[in-house]
Amino acid sequence: MKTDRSAELLSRALKVIPGGVNSPVRAFKAVGGTPLFIARAKGAYLWDVDGNKYVDYVGSWGPMILGHAEPSVVEATSKAIERSSSYGAPTEGEVKLAELVTQRMPQVERLRLVNSGTEATMSAIRVARGATKRDAIIKFEGCYHGHADYLLVKAGSGVATFDLPDSPGVPADFAKHTITLPFNDQQALEAVFASRGSEIAGVIVEPITGNMGVIAPPRAYLQRMRELCDENGSVLIFDEVMTGFRVHPGCAQGLYDVIPDITAFGKVIGGGMPMGAYGGRAKVMDLVAPAGPIYQAGTLSGNPAAVAAGYQTLDLLGQPGCYDALEERCAELEEGLVKVLHDSRHTGRVQRVGSMLTLFFNDGSPVENFEQVKACDHAKFAEFFHGMQEKGIYLPPSGYEAWFVSMVHDADIIRNTVEAADTTLKLLD
């Protein structure tokens, strides 16, 4: 597969952009080789600047659940831009989007729009701290919540791939308010609440992880988290930036029926445009300015084009049978991968929730926490990744990530992907 044009663009990019990319995981450091520069995408397919065509399992890291350039999303977004791409004043579109989210998730009584997932989690934590007048936050190893200082501690995928347990530039004074616990370990959580419960402003968690690969904890674990927060007056934040409107119409909290105080959204809610949001019960959310004293603002927040893309995306996802059809496709992909893995000389584990899936190369046992993800054979994943790329399948370039399937990955595409995986596994060392 010829990638000369990508290589040429990379060498130009390296001279003017740190590492040649605007977000680290795009650089292919975990798998090696030249990152593909993308020219365009449509439906389930991407084309790189050398003209190669790929089935896309990255989906912009989650937002493109309808597939690329879905016509009605393109139309709604373009029409919004024609009326001007920003006003810095309220619009009807924002109200319609917030109403739609609150209809689908009645526990979200108020929603504030921001510009990214990072801003959503950062703001949710400010509200948790402001509401409780406490500083300490609990997060879990391998969960990524964006790049805010105090959240960049043992933060999964990008950071794990780069082996930066902490980033330089994060003051120890900020990180010291973050308590990091192993994911999926109820006893560790109970122990911290027993010793420091009254200091804990909030707990932030990916209810189903994506940023260390897909791990779905038992319901009892999230339920216990809910109880401990209630008993200690701490705010429970579900970071559903990745899982939101992807794993279930009511997000992971709808799937589990465990309801947080605040939810952070991103990715799907922006329909591929830069947008995030956070929301929850009126009691906490009305502490946010100008309703309350906790300051949070944004020049481009509620951007009309982003709102139009997000609204149209969520609206289409609300059609009956949408998630069921996606589930069926994804189950076929999972079953296919399990089978070809079984038929190969290799062992591994496929973990999936809805349209998020990870293939871990390990001895086949369940992967339940970050230590176990780290212990997987990431060199083998890198080889597998390149084998798949050769066959026109574009996977996330790291074994710490989820693959994302869209509504337009049809049965043929899934079958071809499984066949490509079969051939690739047979050629692996």
Ligand X SMILES: *Cc1c(COP(=O)(O)O)cnc(C)c1O
Which two three-digit tokens encode residue 92? 């009807």
Judged by CB under 6 A, the stretch of 129-137, 143-151, 158-166, 213-221 that binds ligand X is 143-151
Q: Identify the burial level of 395 via C-beta atoms within 10 angstroms of its C-beta, where 0-12 means exposed, 13-18 middle and 19 or more buried.
A: buried
CB of 328 to ligand X, least distance (A): 25
Active site residue 239: yes
Q: What is the widest separation between alpha-carbon atoms in the chain?
A: 61
CB 52 within 8 A of CB 39: no
Instruction: Check if 295 is active-site.
Output: no
**Which of 86, 73, 202 minimizes the C-alpha distance to 134?**
202
| Binding mask of the shown chain, residues 241 to 260, with x at each position contacting ligand X by CB under 6 A | xx------------------
CB of 276 to ligand X, least distance (A): 6
Segment interacting with ligand X, rule: CB under 6 A, options 178-186, 224-232, 239-247, 278-286: 239-247
Measured from the CB atom, is 216 or 418 closer to ligand X? 216
Q: How far is the CB of 59 from ligand X (least distance, A)?
A: 12
Under a CB-based contact definition with an 8 Å cutoff, are residues 272 and 244 in contact? no
Counting contacts by CB under 6 A, is residue 161 touching ligand X? Answer: no
Q: How many residues bind ligand X, per CB under 6 A?
A: 15
- Restricted to residues 165-224, the positions that interact with ligand X (CB under 6 A) are 206, 210-211
Contacting residues for 397 by C-beta, under 8 A, at least 6 apart:
25, 26, 28, 30, 31, 35, 385
As measured in angstroms, the least distance from the Cβ of 206 to ligand X is 5
| Catalytic pick among 45, 54, 57, 144 | 144
Site string for ligand X, 88-117 (x = CB under 6 A): ----------------------------xx
Q: Measured at CB, which residue is nearest to ligand X?
A: 117
- Residue 139 or 329: which CB sits closer to ligand X? 139
Which residue carries 């009605």 as its tokens?
A: 72
Whether the CA torsion 7, 156, 243, 419 is positive or negative: it is positive
Choosing from 29, 139, 154, 267, the catalytic residue is 267
Burial class (CB in 10 A: 0-12, 13-18, 19+), 131: buried
Distances (CA, A) of 389 to 33, 59, 146, 275, 280: 11, 15, 28, 30, 41
Residue 117 or residue 217: which is nearer to ligand X going by CB?
A: 117
**394 noted as active-site residue:** no
| Active-site entry in 57, 150, 154, 239 | 239
Within 349-408, the residues that bind ligand X by CB under 6 A are: none
Other beta carbons less than 10 A from residue 40's beta carbon = 11
Q: 361 is written with which tokens?
A: 């190369």
* Site of interaction with ligand X (CB under 6 A): 116-118, 121, 144-146, 206, 210-211, 239, 241-242, 266, 276
Residues with catalytic function: 144, 239, 267
